[in-house]
Structures are given as structure tokens and as C-alpha cells.
Amino acid sequence: MNKVNAQKTIDCFFTVKRKKSITGDNGIETQYSLETSASTRFEGIVSKENNKKRKISDSKEMEQNGNEINLDKKDTFTDNRETEKKKEGEEPINSYSDSSFKAASNFKSDSHPDYMEEIKKLMHAEWYEHLKDELKKKYFQNMYLKIKEERKTKVIYPPERLVFNAFLKTPLSKIKVVIVGQDPYHQKDQAMGLCFSVPVGVKIPPSLKNILKEIKQKSTHGNLMSWSEQGVFLLNTSLTVEENKPASHKNYGWETFTDQVINIINQKKQNIIFMLWGNFAIKKCSKIDTTKHFILKAGHPSPLSIKHFVNCDHFNKCNGILAQKGLSPIKWELPQ
């Protein structure tokens, strides 16, 4: 082994430390160390290899299904293929009951008794108690196991351990505010199980930039976990998505699940402030009891509809309502 390779091998098994400082509310600066472990770097290597395998797998699947077609002719071609398939008694190409879905649908509770235990570890105990009956339903079991099966061959966001992050960071008893998004970010490293939020170190997406402008903050990051910990429930209506395919899990069953989540909040809580941005979120929460809760409506913070969001003043209005109810306001500015 030459010196270069030997050094690379050594580097892989030792921790890299770097210093970072943060300033707290008391003005005191604290330094802490960030460590990059060997396992973390190794996971990055494995992730790259998995992505290569998935591309190869996708390519083979496309060849087998005869799906390598001109995009301009895709709809017509697919319709013709589906007609031919029906004549032959086979499944159409874009049938919802693809092989992975059938595999998940055929799973029995007896063969996967631990899926409930998995979820139990991923959300706060309060949420689990209120949702366990919903989690046992056949539609949810099929959906959860289908996605679990898809993760073997596809890149799904967020990572499995973060799918129920909103339910972990904000217990039902602590909720003061609800913000509703659509589906998770579909690009690498962005989704973290909290709507609109991205991890520290990830480029801030356009919609989140506009949200931060509304609170008059030039933040160096877009991690909204501090909101979650103060009682802001950051809920996406679909909790998973396939890489680079927005709304790809729209019809999997998440909408039914999150409808029940909103229904629980509506029934079990009082004086919750729903900050609804865009027609999608407004429609999603159309059954909220306005005699018990508060609704703030505005356009979506996307650059495409920013004129209906800018200067909505939701963050100040929200804190005004909380003050009227004798509740502590939300510190919207993100810690740096």
C-alpha cells in the first residue's frame, strides 16, 4: 500500500474535530466541537454506491417495461400501451398496483408485527397514544410497508428515522401553532420531517427565504427546530417523497393520515392558531372549528405567489393572539 492510500485508510478511522461558537440569549458565547466520525464518512460512501445501484436498477426497469420513450410522445404512447396490455390481460404500465405495492399489500400483520413498534420509537408517546388506532388500519399498514419496500431500490426522503419528526419534536399537549405544508423537499439532504425546514448547512430554499424575510431575519440557516420545540407543529400533508419527484407519494395514503392528525388537534385542543399559506393548506384545514381556534390565511411563500404572502404579518398576529390568551409568544428568530 502506498503512502497516499495508507493515509486515506487512517483518515477513515479517526474523528475530525472542528470548533464552532454560538451566542445565547444571555449574550454569552459558547464554543462546542463538531465531530465527523468514520462511520458518518463511510455512510456517505455507501450512499453514493447505493445511488449508482439505483440508477442502474431504474435503467434496467425502464428497458424491461419498454418505457424509454420520447417525453413529447409519452402520454399517447402510454395510453396505447395500456390498451394493448388490457387486451392481453396484463397490467398497464402505470398501474398503481405495481409489484412493490402488491408486495406491501400482501404483507400480514403477523409477518410484520414490529412496524408499530418502529413508529412508536419515532414519535412522542402522546401522539402515539392518540394515533395508534389509525396506525393499525389496513391502508396505513399497506402504505408504510410499501414505502419501506421502496427504500430498498429508491431514494426516499426524509430518512426513515425523521419521517415522524414533527410528532417527536412537538407533543400534542405543547401545540400552540400549526403550519401546514404539502410534501417534503425532494432533493438531497433537505427534508428533515418538519415542513419548510432544512438542516443547518443546507442552502435555504426560496419559500423558506421568503418566510424568514417576513420575520425580518437574515438567518445563516433554515433549521426551524426551535419553532417545533416552542409548540409550532410543522406538518406536511404527505410525510414522504421520492427523490426528484415532487408529490410522488401524494396518493399513497398520507392525506388520510394527516386529515386524522388535524382532526385530533381540532377536537382535543383549544385556541390553536392555524397559519395557512396557499389554497392547498386552506382547503386541508377547511373543517377546523373556528369557534375554538384561530385561522390566519395568506398566499403560499413560494416566489410564484409571494405577492399574496408578503406583509401578511402572521408572525406578529400570532404572538398577539397568544398574549391575549396568556400564553408565551413564539421566538420566531432562529438561533444562530
Per-residue model confidence as pLDDT tens digits over 5-29:
444 443 443 344 444 444 444 444 4
What pLDDT sits at residue 86?
Answer: 40
* Nearest-angstrom CA–CA distance, 173 and 295: 19
Distance, CA of 250 to CA of 241 (rounded, Å): 8
Delineate the domains of the chain, giving CATH numbers in brackets. Answer: 116-324 (3.40.470.10)
- Of 11-20, 129-138, 201-210, 318-327, give the lowest mean pLDDT range: 11-20
**According to the model, what pLDDT value does residue 252 have?**
98
Known catalytic membership, residue 183: yes
Q: Pick the residue with more confidence: 64 or 228?
A: 228
The predicted model gives 35-46 an average pLDDT of 42
Weakest-pLDDT range from 12-26, 42-56, 228-242: 12-26
* Digit-coded pLDDT (tens) for 271-305: 999 999 999 999 999 999 999 999 999 999 999 99
pLDDT value, residue 7: 44
In the predicted structure, residue 127 carries a pLDDT above the cut 50: yes
Per-residue model confidence (pLDDT) at position 85: 41
Question: What does residue 18 show for φ and ψ, rounded to 5 degrees?
Answer: -145, 150
Mean pLDDT for all residues in the chain: 79
Q: Are 195 and 157 in contact (CB under 8 A)?
A: no
Span 312-321, average pLDDT = 98
To which residue does cell 425546514 refer?
197
Reading the block at residue 268, the C-alpha cell is: 382535543
Beta-bridge mates of residue 241: 157
- In the prediction, which pLDDT does 114 show? 87
Q: Across residues 304-319, what is the average pLDDT?
A: 96
- Check pLDDT > 80 for residue 95: no
Q: Give the E-state strand segments of the chain in sequence order.
A: 16-23, 29-36, 156-157, 177-181, 232-236, 241-242, 273-277, 294-298
- Which range, of 44-58, 198-212, 262-276, averages the lowest pLDDT? 44-58
Q: Is residue 238 predicted with pLDDT exceeding 70? A: yes
Residue identified by cell 400533508 is 237
Once rounded to an integer, what is the mean pLDDT over residues 34-42? Answer: 40
- Pairwise CA distance, residues 132 & 116, whole Å: 8
Dump strand ranges (E) for 40-153: none
Signed CA dihedral, 44, 187, 197, 145: sign only: negative
C-alpha 246/C-alpha 5 separation (Å) is 41
DSSP state of 135: H
Of 58, 114, 183, 289, which is the active-site residue? 183
What pLDDT shows up at residue 113? Answer: 57
Angle at 112 between CA 107 and CA 113, to 5 degrees: 135
Extract the C-alpha cell encoding 18: 472542528
Closest CA to 210 of 310, 313, 318: 310
Geometric angle at alpha carbon 124, from 188 and 235, rounded to 5°: 50
pTM of the entire predicted model = 0.71
